[in-house]
Amino acid sequence: MENLTSLDNAGITRRSFLHKSVLAGAGLVLGAPSILKAVGGAEAPSNMINVGFIGCGKQHEVVFNAMVNIPGLRYTAVCDIMKDRVGAAYGRIRSRFGYDPKRYIDAADMLEKEKDLDAVIVTTPDFWHAPHTVMSLQAGKHVYCEKMMSNSLEGARSMVKAMDETGKLCQIGHQRRSNPRYIYTLKELIQRHKICGRIINANAHWNRAVSSSRDITVPAKILPNKETLLKYGYGRPNENLSDEELQRRFLNWRLYKDLSGGPISDLGAHQIDIFNWFFGGPPKSVIASGGCDYFKDREHFDNVMCIFDYDTPEGGARAFYQVLTTTSAGGGYAESFMGTEGTIEISERSAYTKIYRESGSAPSWDPLVQQGWLKKASAPAAAADSSDAIASYASAAPEGFELPGDLNLPPHQPHLANFFAAIRGEAKLNCDAREALESEAPIYWVNPAAERNEIIKLTEEHLHT
């Protein structure tokens, strides 16, 4: 992969870069007419990679659908403690590819018997991420594990240790790290062309409606029995939980403190990772507030707001994050980086991606438009109110711009493609376990900051891998 920062070197033109730079393992180039256009027509490589799945729920389905167009993969085995999910995963592979993967209930059993597995995709609940990843690495398999790395900082650290000790690859599913929209925005617009000026503030949110936040329910007859749920950690020590409570914990594990980190890790992890990636390191402190204000029977907050404090080479900066589970208003999910000369709002959804130039305080971006780095927005930015009552406080309306292209692939596909390219030695992982932990570590301290109602200074002890 050509180094994105090499554009700063004399003699390298934008045109040569756009036509030569391939995003590692993603099957994508930045090339005219769309800078975010997928490259098609690649034939399956001769070195087939045998893949097994641990966890066959909804996230498995999302990941699998992002993998099916990546050449050179054979889906060898599927594993889940819920037989209906195993059957569904088996059916998807059988229907799409015409062969039969092996079916398992127990992950250790799968790893012991499937000697030819090269890679394992882990999409189990958070509290199983570390055990499943560690056992897969120790069995000699490369691992792609969904975020969060674990429900605990100790679990996440164990994954880094296992990756180091085994020498196997471990990619964590922060898929924006491989998204060409994000890479282009950071490397070209923010770092090279510095269109934002000095970034002093960042904001991000994930707002989810009540209808999407209610308990998951399915017919009890298709669920694992009580013995199985207790065996796989859905019970609690010294508690004789009813069948109904065990089943709720199985289906809604995100609601429980011993099984997950709640909404701030389930949803917030993706976007707080972007703060740390774009700012170039972790924050120095976090303050937070949260509450169970609507869903009264949940252990985790149903809404959380937090502020991270950063030291950057240009000076101090703050990032605000909120996750809501009672409203989808406010644009779903997006991140914004706000600078003295411009603001970039970015999201996996192109409809939420917008760029604004500060009128009157930033140099003209017309040259960037002419060179193809940006394009003028199809709809102008809203005009500022010029009424006499507020005229002295009003600023000129910012100019609106857009990226000159889009991603025409499922958002997880480039990150998965990068993983498989790294297995073949064709790329470097975009987010291995060590880098992911460095970015995720501050997230583990948001809930404690809210519970204690205090600022937590993030030291090496809080963040060290």
pLDDT digits (tens, 9 = 90+) for 185-204: 999 999 999 999 999 999 99
d(CA 397, CA 165): 55
Helix extents (H) in 12-68: 14-20, 58-67
Mean local confidence (pLDDT), 215-232: 96
pLDDT at 43: 46
> Which of the four pLDDT bands, split at 50, 70 and 90, describes residue 359?
confident
In the chain, what are the domain boundaries? 49-177+411-431, 197-212+261-404+440-463, 220-251
Residue 230 has pLDDT above 70, yes or no: yes
Query: b vs e for 292-315, b when ≥16 Cβ sit within 10 Å of the residue's Cβ?
Result: eeebeebebbbbbbbbbbbeeeee
Selection from 66, 24, 38 nearest residue 187 by Cα? 24
Mean local confidence (pLDDT), 207-221: 95
Residue 66 has pLDDT above 90, yes or no: yes
Answer for the pair 414, 27: CB distance below 8 angstroms, yes or no. Answer: yes
Cα dihedral sign, 73-77-79-83: positive
What's the gap between Cα 119 and its chain centre? 20
Q: What's the mean pLDDT when you consider all of the chain?
A: 88
pLDDT at 219: 95
Q: Got the DSSP string for 307-373?
A: EEEEEETTEEEEEEEEEESS--TTTSEEEEEEESSEEEEE-SSGGG-EEEE-TTTS---HHHHHHTS
Answer for the pair 285, 309: CB distance below 8 angstroms, yes or no. Answer: yes
Answer for the pair 406, 347: CB distance below 8 angstroms, yes or no. Answer: no
Backbone angles phi and psi of 193, in degrees to 5: -90, -10
Residue 413 has pLDDT above 80, yes or no: yes
pLDDT digit string (tens) for 267-282? 999 999 999 999 999 9
Give the whole-number percent of the chain exceeding pLDDT 70: 86
d(CA 132, CA 146): 11
pLDDT digit string (tens) for 253-265? 999 999 999 999 9
pLDDT at 389: 52
Using a cut of 0.85, tell me whether the model's pTM lies above it: yes
Fold of 49-177+411-431: Rossmann fold (3.40.50)
Selection from 97, 94, 96, 144 nearest residue 118 by Cα? 144
> Which of the four pLDDT bands, split at 50, 70 and 90, describes residue 288?
very high
Q: Is it true that 49-177+411-431 and 197-212+261-404+440-463 share their CATH fold? A: no
DSSP state of 2: -
Look up the CATH number of domain 197-212+261-404+440-463.
3.30.360.10
Q: Tell me the chain's radius of gyration from C-alpha atoms.
A: 23
d(CA 415, CA 144): 10
Q: How far is CA 13 from CA 1, 9, 10, 30, 369, in A?
A: 16, 9, 8, 13, 16
pLDDT at 316: 96
What residue type is assigned to position 374 of the chain? L
Residues 6+ apart with CB under 8 A from 269: 147, 148, 174, 261, 440, 443
